[in-house]
Structure 1
Amino acid sequence: MTGFAEFYTPWGFIPANDNVKPPPASHYHHNVDKLPLIVALSGVAGSGKSTVAEYLQDIHGYTRVRFAGPLKAAMAALGLSAKQIEGDLKEVPCDLLCGHTPRYAMQTIGTEWGRNIIGEEFWTGLWRAAANAVIEDGGRVVVDDCRFPNEAATVRKMGGDIYRIIGRGGLAGAHESERMDFIPDIVISNESDILALYSKVDEALVRWG
């Protein structure tokens, strides 16, 4: 079982999804003061959001803070494994969830309970507090699960940019959380190799500075 703290700090466990390593940090010469404080990533499942988030962490020093971080931490506390929460077991029915899949549990708890019953700004409020803590400590934030218009609005109010990742055969779901009814600041096509994706991300960062 993966521990609660592993998911909660910094809100999210992301398994590596590509064996290609980015170039070393010394390869880049961006002025860190000119990088956006917040980069939010949106896109359908499989489009490459986690890959971009890892790149921003490893090369540009961003800290990942996810809207669904507390929810995933709760799933870990219930006894679900990293593969069930983030990996290839997410779509497999689980006895702990009375035969439902982890994806179904997270979607319904996150949307039907968290947004529709507790309040639309429930998750954004938690995220904003965590993101502000990183920024106040001199850091920058990447969030790789921006799905709802109010999440996008929160990012923009805090001075962030929203990148929509498309391509890679990503699959759009029918659930409300998969609609992404908002316009991104930049669209990044991920239809080539991973180094091309990294280059496009760098181009997006440069436009900000």
Structure 2
Amino acid sequence: MIIGLMGYAGAGKSEVARHLCKRHGFVAPHIGRPLKQMLAALLREIGYDESTIVRFVDGDLKRDLIPELGITSTEAQQTLGTEWGRDCVRADFWLHLWLAKIDRVIRDGGHVVQESVRFANEVAALRQRGALLVEVQRPGVGPLSDHPSEVLPGEPDLLFQNDGTLNELHLRAANLAGKIRALEDKNKKGTDFGTFSGLSVPKPQY
């Protein structure tokens, strides 16, 4: 089974993915891992030590300005991913690399969570593989900019409300994992996802 998480930065996607991996046997090969490695190599070349690189690339400094670049880590990864990878190489460049990894996991009977589904072609590829798309929502959290990667890429199958404590988020992630396994056991669609606190089916848009 594959879970694809959507949502704005700061909604709690990474924490949901971490809990699913730590407690429920999922793996999370990140589609953006090559971007992080590329940026880390650049920061290393500039002269930053490893601990600071970690903080810039995926830690508490990722939204702080990198003086030598004049942009933040988030902006650097967005432009590497979109303006360079998708626009200059090909639209499915990063997706192709990632799918090769997850297809091996699924063939071996594993469970995958992708914590950052950002584009329509990613949604299409995940749906072809029977993935469940979940939008993580948190009150007061919205897009950080008008960059294309900040636009939600499609309609989710489920809404995951992150409107409580960290412990409540973990409980809801556990509920999600339980529902996924129930769906696999029954081998059918239509499970009533709305019966667990914090999970709901999106209302139709008219």
Question: Normalized against structure 2, the TM-score is what?
Answer: 0.77
User: 1:92 is matched with which residue?
Assistant: 64
Cα contact 1:44–1:178 (8 A) shared by 2: yes
CA distance in 2, matches of 1:127, 1:181: 17
- 1:91 & 1:200 partners in 2: Cα distance? 27
**Separation of aligned partners in 2, 1:192 and 1:119:** 40
Is 1:165 the counterpart of 2:136? The answer is yes
CA-CA distance at 1:78 after TM superposition: 1.9
Size of the aligned set, in residue pairs, is 172
Deviation at 1:110, TM superposition (A): 0.5
Q: Distance between the aligned counterparts of 2:127 and 2:177, measured in 1? A: 16
Q: Which residue, 15, 33, 45 being the options, matches 2:9?
A: 45
User: Is this contact kept in 1: 2:7–2:137, CA < 8 A?
Assistant: yes
- Mark the CA change 1:169 to 1:119 in structure 2 (over 3 Å): closer, same or farther: same
Preserved contact between residue 48 and residue 168 of structure 1 (Cα < 8 Å): no
Shift in Å, 1:88: 2.3
Which shows bigger deviation, 138-147 or 53-62?
138-147
CA positional deviation for 1:77: 2.0
**Distance verdict in 2 for CA 1:171–1:82, change over 3 Å:** farther
**How far 1:67 moved relative to its partner?**
1.5
Structure 2, unpaired ranges of 5+: 45-52, 183-206
**1:168 CA displacement:** 4.8
Q: Which residue is 2:43 aligned to?
A: 79
> Relative to 1, partners in 2 of residues 1:100 and 1:158: Cα closer, same or farther, differing over 3 Å?
same
1:147 CA displacement: 1.1
Between stretches 48-57 and 78-87, larger displacement belongs to 78-87
Q: Aligned AA for 1:51? A: E
Give percent identity, aligned residues only.
36
Gap change, CA 1:88 and 1:168, over 3 Å in 2: farther
Match for 1:175 among 147, 157, 161?
147
Secondary structure of residue in 2 paired with 1:162: strand
CA distance in 1, matches of 2:141, 2:117: 16
SS of 1:79 mapped into structure 2: helix
| TM-score normalised per structure 1 | 0.76
**Aligned residues of 1:41 and 1:144 also touching (Cα < 8 A):** yes
1:125 match: secondary structure: helix
For residue 82 of structure 1, report the CA deviation from its aligned partner. 1.2
Determine if the alignment matches structure 1 residue 60 to structure 2 residue 32.
Answer: no
Counterpart residue number, 1:127:
98
What secondary structure sits across from 2:133 in the alignment?
Answer: strand
Match of 1:102 among 73, 87, 109: 73
Deviations 1:145-176 (A, max 9, x none): 11111111111111211110001532312211
Query: Counterparts in 2 of 1:132-171, with a 5 A limit?
Result: 132-171=103-142
Q: Which residue number corresponds to residue 201 of structure 1?
A: 173
Cα distance 1:138–1:77, how it changes in 2: closer, same or farther (>3 A)?
farther
C-alpha RMSD of matched pairs (Å)? 1.7
